[in-house]
Structure 1
Amino acid sequence: MTIGVSGPIDLKLLEWDVNSNDLPTTNAFPLTSHFINGLLRRGFKVIGYTSSGEIDEPRVISSGNLTICISRHKPQPGRRFFKFEVEDLRKTIEANPADVICALWSYEYAWAPLKTKIPTIVHLHDVAFQILLKIPDMFRLVRWMINYIVVHKATHLVANSVYTFNQLGRRTRKKTRVIDNFYPYNLKQRLSASAIKGNYIITVAQGFTKRKNIETAIHAFSILRKQYPELEYYLVGVDSEKGGLAEQYAQAHNLTDGIRFIGPLPYGEVFELIQKAQLLLHPSREESFGMVLLEAMVAQTPVVGGKKSGYIPHLLDYGKAGLLCDVESPESIAAEVSKVLSNETLYKELVREGYKFAEGNFSEDVIINKHLAYLSEVMGKPIVPLTKSASSSERRNLISNSLQT
């Protein structure tokens, strides 16, 4: 059984024997790569389908049980309704077919395989309509329209949380299975036993948008600085770099004191910063899941998130695995962060409960097995790997070697 995975793939996170210097930059998201790695560790042959704006012709790269097919991606695809990207990806898929395809996200990476005759399961990782409401621009309108086409055309859907599932219409829910996101097996391998907590809190967000709500967090930090004058605030991700939108906002409101505008970083460096932080603050107004919170829980860093922010309350076990606040209120955010920083007993309890809740509900073993069971159900037959899956010790050795390279 060859399983296809269509989506934004971070090629440098894949566990394969390929020189990363020879790889083009692709549209990338870590979860897609973690999903592929999880299938490879269980002995499956996998074909990944992704896209890049750096290539003139489609590329195919193979290593062991993994083949990556890269189609072309042109600038400003929204103006063309992603027609070129979808068609180029469709041709690439048909030239390198899998037995079944898991399409991560309900946009171009799902629309293309749905145009083939290959059975396709579409994974819903956000709520397009909610994003359009929070960011009402032409690009998000195009994305919502593509999502509408994909969701109605697909016969099998996976929602990444109960929150995402509940946003769907009654008919759509009938063809949808809820399978949560997961943290990868090797995430614990990245934990440093000698890591020392720094005197900073951290927010990781991709974009300075109304939905991500960084501006309210900046105001909350100005309140915290009065109580903790040595505390720093690290802002990581798109639009949080020096000179970016986050810094421009802070400068305009005279709120830059104590804030480090770091911007985008590689996945491993972000996780290291999270592990060394005193706390992860997630001010987002809406999340279909919240991967960075899950990663912080595994890193044993306490979390503060929004009590009405989509799936966040459930991910934080309704206040047991992390504290919840009103993200519309700088005072509420500051108060909950201060509770954690000033109470060592509470701090240790949140670390313990967060880690336990993550391990029990969102580990790779728990979630990948659910995906394989659903794949078997969709295909109407057992999903048999090409080779024997790696044992726990073999898996640890494979991960250790991949981290070293």
Structure 2
Amino acid sequence: MRIAIDVVAAEYEPGGMLLAARTLLQGLARIDQSNEYIVLTVRPEDYQDLLAFPQMHVQAVRLPSRRGILIQHQLFMPAILKKVKPDMLHTPAFATPLSWRGPLVNTIHDLAFLKVPEQSSWYPRYYHMYVQRAAARRAQRVIAISEQTCEELTTYWSIPTARIRLIHHALRPSLTENPIMKTDIQAMQARYGQRYLLHVGRIMPRKNVERLLEAFHLLAGRLPDLHLVLTGGVGYGSERALQLIETSLYYKRIHLAGWVADEKMGALYAGASALIFPSKHEGQGMPSLEAMACGTPVVASYEAASSEIAGDAVLHADCTNTQSLADAILLILSDHTLRQRLIHLGCQRAQLFHYETCARATVQVYEEAWAEAHSSLSQGATA
């Protein structure tokens, strides 16, 4: 098959969805020489490493501007697809162009816009509610990244269970295959403090960063060497969190690191005393697994690190309560035995999420979608 993987909409906002798509592409490049893959991207320079594999191709997509990219994606991608002529289309984030009528696989990460509507403006909410839902309903197969997402798809969007396949996101190979140098860890600690808490993810209501800032404020006076590092940039609805930072007595110990380069994330994780992940809703919650892979213990909400994903390798806390979150952070900083147990369990847990495993499962989904699409065509011709 000639399979187009459309990452254009995912490139709209760098983050977990785009990282997952790139990790999948790396896995497909290594395990599948039977199919041909065309990566549709507005950033072809980011995928040059894939060209070392003969079955991988990169097709540059030019859009008039970066404004309103979700609508532009619907308007301009049909012409690109007509030029590329794929046998199948996989959209690993957001919706496929609704005019596409060929075999289709659509990955859905979560329906957080329904669970935490204050995290986004009306524009993305309506996009997900109408455009993405329509695309998912037309797909021969929908990939859900967690059991929770599977349930959301059947409950809220009425996607038949028979068309949904559960495939967890995989850890990016840069965290699992490249050794983390001690000097790089020391550089992170020199920059952010010898003892820092780490949060990975855009500042937005769903991520519950406000509660983390309040918990840090409770601890900072007692632990004068403790710092807080926030990565991932600023998203919709971040005003209150930013105000808390600006007015904090400890603002000099709160670091807005923005987007961190992929090659530096391993050292950033490894240098942290703990990852704090208090999110209100997650599809899978990759930062918890990434921290585990780097030997860093995790404090997380039950919503951010479910037992399906994290097992018993994290310290769960009631992250709706500031004091409870602060108590959990203090415990993980002070209890050496607990830290070592979570680090050991986390390293074991992370090994279950290998990118080649994810890629093999995805190829199986492509084959299923192809067979179903052609079966439907045959039945239509017979009728």
CA separation in 2, counterparts of 1:286 and 1:257? Answer: 29
CA contact (8 A) 2:140 2:369 kept: no
1:330 aligns with 2:314: no
> Equivalent of 2:61, from 34, 46, 71?
71
1:84-95 → structure 2 map (5 Å cutoff): 84-95=72-83
Aligned residue number for residue 401 of structure 1: none
CA contact (8 A) 1:239 1:246 kept: no
1:340 aligns with 2:332: yes
CA contact (8 A) 1:191 1:299 kept: no
Aligned residue number for residue 168 of structure 2: 180
| Runs of 4+ residues deviating >6 angstroms | none
TM-score normalized by structure 1? 0.77
1:42-57 → structure 2 map (5 Å cutoff): 42-44=31-33, 45-51=36-42
* Structure 2 SS opposite 1:368: helix
CA contact (8 A) 2:6 2:89 kept: yes
1:376 aligns with 2:367: yes
CA separation in 2, counterparts of 1:244 and 1:135? Answer: 12
CA separation in 2, counterparts of 1:62 and 1:363? Answer: 22
1:352 aligns with 2:336: no
CA separation in 1, counterparts of 2:9 and 2:37? Answer: 13
CA separation in 2, counterparts of 1:90 and 1:27? Answer: 21
Deviation of residue 134 (structure 1)? 3.3
Amino acid at match of 2:356: D
| Count of residue pairs the alignment pairs up | 347
- Which structure is richer in relative contact order (CA contacts within 8 A, separation 6 or more)? 2
Aligned residue number for residue 202 of structure 1: 198
Amino acid at match of 2:89: I
Aligned residue number for residue 315 of structure 1: 309
Aligned residue number for residue 134 of structure 1: 118
CA separation of 1:260 and 1:136: change in aligned 2, threshold 3 A: closer
* Structure 2 SS opposite 1:328: coil
* Structure 2 SS opposite 1:227: coil
Deviation of residue 225 (structure 1)? 1.5
1:18-57 → structure 2 map (5 Å cutoff): 28=14, 29-44=18-33, 45-51=36-42
CA separation in 2, counterparts of 1:134 and 1:167? Answer: 18
CA separation in 1, counterparts of 2:160 and 2:269? Answer: 35
CA separation in 2, counterparts of 1:136 and 1:377? Answer: 34
Aligned residue number for residue 243 of structure 2: 248
CA contact (8 A) 2:227 2:253 kept: yes
Deviation of residue 83 (structure 1)? 3.6
Aligned residue number for residue 5 of structure 2: 5
TM-score normalized by structure 2? 0.81
Deviation of residue 132 (structure 1)? 5.6
CA separation in 1, counterparts of 2:319 and 2:231? Answer: 18
Q: Deviations over 1:361-392 (max 9, x none)?
A: x11232222212222222239xxxxxxxxxxx
Worse-superposed segment, 218-227 or 370-379: 370-379
* Structure 2 SS opposite 1:67: strand
Deviation of residue 69 (structure 1)? 2.1
Q: Deviations over 1:53-95 (max 9, x none)?
A: xxxxxxxx966432222334434417xxx44321211211221
1:306 aligns with 2:301: yes
CA separation in 1, counterparts of 2:366 and 2:321? Answer: 43
CA contact (8 A) 1:212 1:283 kept: yes
Deviation of residue 277 (structure 1)? 0.8
CA separation in 2, counterparts of 1:248 and 1:267? Answer: 28
CA separation in 1, counterparts of 2:233 and 2:279? Answer: 14
Aligned residue number for residue 146 of structure 2: 161
CA separation in 2, counterparts of 1:148 and 1:376? Answer: 23
* Structure 2 SS opposite 1:167: helix
Aligned residue number for residue 260 of structure 1: 255
Deviation of residue 332 (structure 1)? 1.2
Deviation of residue 157 (structure 1)? 0.5
1:115 aligns with 2:99: yes
* Structure 2 SS opposite 1:286: coil
CA separation in 2, counterparts of 1:254 and 1:312? Answer: 34
1:281-292 → structure 2 map (5 Å cutoff): 281-292=276-287
Deviation of residue 292 (structure 1)? 1.5
More helix by share: 2
CA contact (8 A) 2:30 2:356 kept: no
CA contact (8 A) 1:132 1:140 kept: no
Q: Deviations over 1:91-135 (max 9, x none)?
A: 11221133322211233xx2x2x5234311101112154366232
1:125 aligns with 2:117: no
CA contact (8 A) 2:220 2:250 kept: no
CA separation of 1:262 and 1:83: change in aligned 2, threshold 3 A: closer
Deviation of residue 306 (structure 1)? 0.6
Deviation of residue 322 (structure 1)? 0.6
CA separation of 1:349 and 1:193: change in aligned 2, threshold 3 A: farther
Q: Deviations over 1:36-58 (max 9, x none)?
A: 11111124332111336xxxxxx
Deviation of residue 8 (structure 1)? 4.5
Amino acid at match of 2:4: G
Gaps of 5+ in 1: 11-24, 53-60, 382-405
Q: Deviations over 1:245-268 (max 9, x none)?
A: 744332235452521222222122
CA contact (8 A) 1:38 1:184 kept: no
CA separation of 1:214 and 1:164: change in aligned 2, threshold 3 A: same
Deviation of residue 278 (structure 1)? 1.0
> Equivalent of 1:218, from 213, 219, 240?
213
Amino acid at match of 1:187: L
CA contact (8 A) 2:19 2:172 kept: no
Q: Deviations over 1:242-301 (max 9, x none)?
A: x98744332235452521222222122233211211111112111111112111111111
